[in-house]
Chain A
Amino acid sequence: MGCTCQSTGVNVLKETFNVSRNSDNEFVIALAGNPNVGKSTVFNSLTGLNQHTGNWPGKTVTNAQGYYKHRDKDFILVDIPGTYSLMSNSVEEEVARDFVCFGKPDATVVVTDATCLERNLNLVLQTLEITDKVVVCVNLMDEAKRKKISIDIDGLSKRLGVPAIGTSARNNKGLNDLMETVYKITNKQANTSPLKVKYDDIIEKAIEYLEPYVKGIVGNTINSRWVTLKLLDGDKTLLSSLNDFLGFKLNENEIIISKLKYARKFLVDNGINPDAFRDNVVSSIVHTAENICNHVVKLENKKYNATDRRIDSILTSKLFGIPIMIVLLGLVFWLTITGANYPSEIIARFLFWIEDRLTDFFMWIGSPAWLHGVLVLGIYRTLAWVVSVMLPPMAIFFPLFTLLEDLGYLPRVAFNLDNFFKKACAHGKQALTMCMGFGCNAAGVIGCRIIDSPRERLIAIITNNFVPCNGRFPTLIAISTIFIGSAVSSAYHSLVSTIAMICVIVLGVAMTLLMSRILSKTILKGLPSSFALELPPYRKPQIGRIIVRSILDRTLFVLTRAISVAAPAGLIIWLMANIQVGNMSLLSHGANFLQPFANLIGLDGYILMAFILGLPANEIVVPIIIMSYTATGNILELSSLEELRNLLVSHGWTYLTAVCVMLFSLMHFPCGTTLLTIRKETQSIKWTLISFLVPTITGIVICFIVTQTVRLISLI
């Protein structure tokens, strides 16, 4: 039986983990580590741009793979999720554990944080129990040096029985040694004799008794001591992965059942009941780690993190914590919105210049007008619009946001806001995904991966759309300037429209919290799951890397999805505006049909139609409204706000219409890109539909109440 598993090893790698080798000269290396230890910096430094990200098959956990060459061999580096241990039950930890155990990588590199080695050794020791082909990478040596923490790398290596390499990945220090060591391990030029944690005598006796039977069945396919330990522990998710790997149910084997029963009874008779077993095992591991660190880590300055604490005492203080956070985030949004105008204009000018050339070309080949209309005025123009209005804000917002992330500030935002989210029965990290949503809801939804409890992750995904993204800000700003700012004397214009904007943002945050609470009292019932948030040390940001990674991983990713939605939408918008039935366009028919309903919620048919046709990107809602009112058939923009105001007022807009448009813009269905992302992240049509309905129904109800109240007391 043992043989069948070995022969399927390659397929397991491919089917279960989506890793495929191209030749025998390639080695698969797993990159493990705690969160916040610079694992991704190691990954990026080694693989550069030779990487691709996807998901683990069937899971919404990012699977990043990269390639590098060292000497004559090729290496596939698989970045497994950052975890504190291989024993808990989050999806990330399962993925990490399954890959190290069953993916059979040729070597596993465990990245650790030199400034917090003891805690990190927990994962190292657990990994050593599974495989002996381990290289320990002690990263952030530069930070450790700065904090006057010295680490005896050789001593560490000797005690662990596997190579340890000191690195500081962001300065590219030590990486060559790391690659060389990995090379030697994979090419069997180095021997290891990994330290095995010694457990309580009683547990050791139980292992000693049971292991021979386990070995008799699993042979050498997998470390039998470790499997024995897990059988005694009764770790259900592990046993099911193990059974899949072996191709038979080990824990249903008759010999194992009877021997396991005996071993468990032995444990209980000696005072180790099932609950105490895990505590006992973890304690042994932690004590071993503590003991190693006592020998290899020297703190020259006991107050090594005093600076971090001083910064924290300001950034998370009662008095300044929240105001500083608002100012910082406000600055990010302000830079994004104002900074994006100019590049947006340049890109738009360039793309519309191409549009003119395309038009020339279509004229020259004498194509029929409808073909030019569909391809150039419909599809191309919508695409050009979406790219020019979406690309610059994202290219500014994402690097800024990543900068805050890199500095270590973002976990402090979650720390500051957690109490509000706790009251909403949600997760503190939802504060981060919400902030991300201000930049782009699709990115915010992807960001929800950091929330490890499924219930709270869904809440964060469904409510993400309640904060306005970059695409909706310009609409909100324009309308609040035109209608709300101008309602007061000119001296207070900008003040009042700014206040209106702040109200919108506060309302968005309040709705996020309210809806989160409602969801957790209804369809997503449950108690807040345990919350343990690490506040990592502040670090010097790496500007170059931030720009490259945020543009590649976030900006281009979102833009590609946006383009794939905008192209077909452009076609539909053009057809709706240009196909005449009777003496009216399809668009007008649609608007007339929607009119009675739209009127109830303070809008008109054309506005509602624009929101529907604006599904691919919220940026094109106002251009579609203008197109409908001016009956031009192509989406366009007006050159001044004054012109826009006159157009809107002449089509019956009042300040009630403006308020309802702003409310509906804040609360309606997520854009196409976000919906597509929700579908990918939740792997479920049902939750995508719920994410569509929750904000839409909320928006309709609120607009209805506002409109009817205003009309009832006949303010208009």
Chain B
Amino acid sequence: MKSKVIPLNLLPIGSAARVKELTADGSTRRRMLDLGLIIDTQVEAMQKSPSGDPTAYQIRGAVIALRSEEASKIFVEEN
């Protein structure tokens, strides 16, 4: 069964997914790559900040907070 591809900011808290595509460019894209966000990387949505944004994600053993603008440029496929 193949699940659909969604932007990371829409991934529900507690769910895990795999990175399928980065649409960011320039320095944002470089930052994402530095964090190890390459194709097929496992990402889990951990927690939203009190005001709903940013959201903390578990990425390769580290917890990284991303604003929804950034997260919307990362497309993932739910496991």
Contact = CB atoms under 8 A, between A and B. Distances in A.
Interface string A49-60: 000000000000
Interface string B11-40: 000000000001011011011111110110
Contacts of B47: 309, 312-313, 316
A659 to B, nearest CB: 31
B6 interface: no
A535 B61 CA distance: 11
Interface in B41-63: 41, 46-54, 56, 59-63
Given A279-B38, A282-B38, A418-B49, A88 B54 contact: no
B39 A283 contact: yes
Interface in A252-304: 275, 278-279, 282-283, 286-287, 289
Interface in A58-94: 84-85, 87-89
B64 A529 contact: no
B52 A535 contact: no
A118 B35 CA distance: 10
A278 B49 contact: no
Q: Identify the interface centre among B27, B30, B61, B66: most chain A CB within 10 Å of its CB.
A: B61
A85 B70 CA distance: 19
Contacts of A89: 27, 30
Given A88-B27, A530-B70, A531-B70, A119 B62 contact: yes
A117 B36 CA distance: 12
Contact of B33 (A279, A287, A313, A418): A279
A645 to B, nearest CB: 41
A532 interface: yes
B56 to A, nearest CB: 6
B65 interface: yes
B31 A532 contact: yes
Contact of A532 (B41, B52, B65): B65
B70 A422 contact: no
Interface stretch (A317-325, A372-380, A631-639): A317-325
B66 A317 contact: no
A533 B30 CA distance: 15
Contacts of B56: 312, 316, 415, 535
Interface in A301-346: 305, 308-309, 312-313, 316-318, 321-322
B54 A419 contact: yes
Contacts of A316: 47, 49-50, 56
A278 B36 contact: no
A87 to B, nearest CB: 6
A416 B34 contact: no
Given A321-B50, A415-B49, A530-B28, A88 B34 contact: yes
A531 B33 contact: no
Contacts of A289: 36
A533 B62 CA distance: 10
At the interface, is chain B mostly helix, strand, loop or mixed? Answer: mixed
A418 B65 contact: yes
A115 interface: yes
Contacts of B24: 530
Contacts of A85: 30, 33-34
Given A119-B61, A419-B49, A533 B54 contact: yes
A529 B69 CA distance: 10
Contact of A278 (B33, B51, B53): B33
Contact size range, A: 35 or more
Q: Identify the interface centre among A119, A305, A313: most chain B CB within 10 Å of its CB.
A: A119
Given A418-B54, A532-B31, A532-B65, A122 B70 contact: no
Nearest to B70: A530
Contact of A119 (B48, B49, B60): B60
A278 B50 contact: no
Contact of A122 (B28, B30, B34, B48): B34
A393 interface: no
A468 interface: no
A353 interface: no
A305 B61 CA distance: 9
B33 A428 contact: no
B27 A530 contact: yes
B44 to A, nearest CB: 10
Contacts of A287: 38
Contact of A88 (B30, B49, B60): B30
A642 interface: no
A572 to B, nearest CB: 47
Interface string A103-127: 0000000000001111100100000
A557 interface: no
Contacts of B27: 88-89, 529-530
A278 B28 CA distance: 13
Given A84-B35, A87-B34, A118 B49 contact: no
A415 B62 contact: no
Contacts of B38: 279, 282-283, 286-287
A675 to B, nearest CB: 31
A420 interface: yes
A88 B53 contact: no
Given A428-B54, A530-B27, A532-B35, A309 B70 contact: no
A282 B31 CA distance: 11
Contacts of B51: 416, 419-420
A584 B34 CA distance: 67
Contacts of B59: 119
A494 B36 CA distance: 54
A24 interface: no
Contacts of B61: 115-119
Contacts of B50: 316-318, 321-322, 416
Contacts of B34: 84-85, 87-88, 122, 282
Given A118-B60, A286-B36, A420-B51, A530 B46 contact: no
Interface of A: 84-85, 87-89, 115-119, 122, 275, 278-279, 282-283, 286-287, 289, 305, 308-309, 312-313, 316-318, 321-322, 415-416, 418-420, 422, 428, 528-536
Task: In the A-B complex, list the 6 residue pairs whose CB atoms are closest, starting with the nearest.
Answer: A321-B50, A530-B28, A419-B51, A85-B34, A84-B34, A282-B33
6 contacts: A87-B30, A116-B60, A308-B63, A316-B49, A416-B49, A535-B64
